[in-house]
Structure 1
Amino acid sequence: MTHWTLVTGANRGLGLELVRQLLADGARVVATCRQPGRAQALNALAAEYPGHLKVLPLDVGDAASREELAREWPLAAGREARIGLLVNNAGVLHGGERFGALTEEILDDSLRTNVVGPLLLTQALAPLLADGARVANLSSQLGSIAGTTRFGTPSYAISKAALNMATVQLAHALRERGIVVVALHPGWVRTDMGGAQATETPEESVAGLRRVIAGLGAADSGRFLDWTGASLPW
């Protein structure tokens, strides 16, 4: 049975770098983004690695889009293919939030994209996950309640804290099938989201994340780890 990796939010940043590294190592990858037709880097990789990369549309925060991805899977990857690794990478960060000016719209968008989307996508794809598969939810140290020392990026921080709980819930739901679910902090990475002052390159972060994922065992399911494998406080 063929196993594929599925990466959401794969058109730029960490998602794109993850796809690059996986393909270079011979993996088969389904990469998703909201507008595949405009994902030039992904489409170039698909041409470079024929048969190893499929690019599919997904708006992780939209129920119909999640359901369509699950329906399209057999056509894209093959009827007998299963997901060996699911990386819930797609996310949103709204900058410039100030206390006194927080809005329901931004909070709702952050929660829908960063929490509800990954949780319900994993649920929708559960029948396609191989027994013993890995699910990596891209979280952030900003989601650590114990580590919070100031007011900042509240909708993002709140959503990542909620994603951490969703990770633990999924770990329990999928444990009987040997599926390991973890929340991973990728470091402060120089991407569009992380900014130019960030300390890690996408290449370094992704290489570290891949080492952590490769080393996961059953006892790690439900943990909150960073890209070096260190445990983070809830």
Structure 2
Amino acid sequence: MPTPRRCLVTGANRGLGLAFVQHLLAGGDDVVATCRQPGRAAALNALVGEHPGHLHLLPLELREPRSIEALAHELPLVCDGLDLLVNNAGVLHSGERFGSVPAANLDDSFRSNASGPFLLTQALSKQLAAGARVANLSSSWGSITSLEAFRTPTYAISKAAQNMVTALLARALADRGIVVLALNPGWVRTEMGGAHAELSPDEAVAGLLEVIDGAGMADSGRFLDWRGEDVPW
């Protein structure tokens, strides 16, 4: 039997994050799932009962550096290293219009979608195993090349910044054989994507895990979709 991967998934209480946890557990991996309030994450707590010893829940408020530091300190108590880090947690402020975009939205989006994943990966870098994978969940709306209209500005700006985070982390971690990817999951039926989206979370995550598993060092720093196809920057 293959050795189980040691995985950490942020924003794991719903949507794509929860689907990642479910798929990884089904594949026999060990998972640390983080969210803001683990005690209120009913689906995750049910999974703990179904997978005793293989799933641990830890709190993380990605916008707060102290919370990131606390997680980095507590993680060794439940996990002796990481083979996969999935930076999934993020925020989208809907209904923004040019001329009335609040500064607070921009700050919140940047801290959740860009600086948070960077600081978390940096804080956990010593716990990443040689040859580990870091998957940053990005979006086509973070593609400058594909921009067609003014929409979701604070989300788009922060996801474009997150793509630079991926490129920088790929270079920072290259000497340890760690692959870092920016991944566009497609239009997914989540709270963020809406009920009319094209893909279910299961479909998106199954594709993303294939991309993650198939990536090598030559792919580190690339922006790929759930089918493994390049997304323009």
TM over 0.5: yes
Counterpart residue number, 1:196: 195
What does residue 147 of structure 1 align with?
Answer: 146
2:36 maps to which residue? 34
- Which residue in 2 is equivalent to 1:43? 45
Structure 1 residue 103 displacement after superposition: 1.0
C-alpha contact (below 8 Å) 1:138/1:185 kept by paired residues:
yes
CA separation of 1:142/1:168 partners in 2, compared to 1, >3 Å: closer, same or farther?
A: same
Aligned length: 231
Q: Kindly report structure 1 stretches of 4+ aligned residues shifted beyond 4 Å.
A: none
Where structure 1 has 5 or more consecutive residues not aligned to the other structure, the ranges are none
- Once the two structures are superposed, what CA deviation does each residue of 1:57-107 show, in whole Å capped at 9, x if it has no partner? 001111010000010011122xxx110000000000000000010111000
Gaps of 5+ in 2: none
Alpha-carbon RMSD: 0.9
TM-score, with structure 2 as normaliser = 0.98
Q: How many Å separate the matches in 2 of 1:224 and 1:164?
A: 8
Q: Is the 8 A contact 1:87 1:135 kept in 2?
A: yes
**Equivalent residue for 1:58, pick from 53, 57, 60:** 60
Asked if 1 retains the 8 angstrom alpha-carbon contact of 2:170 and 2:179, the reply is: yes
Cα pair 2:143 2:232 within 8 Å, conserved: yes
Q: State whether residues 177 and 217 of structure 2, in contact with CA within 8 Å, keep that contact through their aligned partners in structure 1.
A: yes
1:133 maps to a residue whose letter is: A
Secondary structure at the residue paired with 2:78?
helix
Taking the aligned partners of 2:5 and 2:213, their CA distance within structure 1 comes to 15
How far, CA to CA, are the matches of 2:49 and 2:232 in structure 1?
42
Task: Say whether 1:175 aligns with 2:177.
Answer: no
Task: Tell me how far 1:2 sits from its aligned partner.
Answer: 7.1
> What is the CA-CA distance between 1:146 and the residue it aligns to?
0.3
In structure 1, what is the equivalent of residue 14 of structure 2?
12
Shift of 1:3: 4.3
What is the identity, as a one-letter code, of the residue corresponding to 2:219?
Answer: D
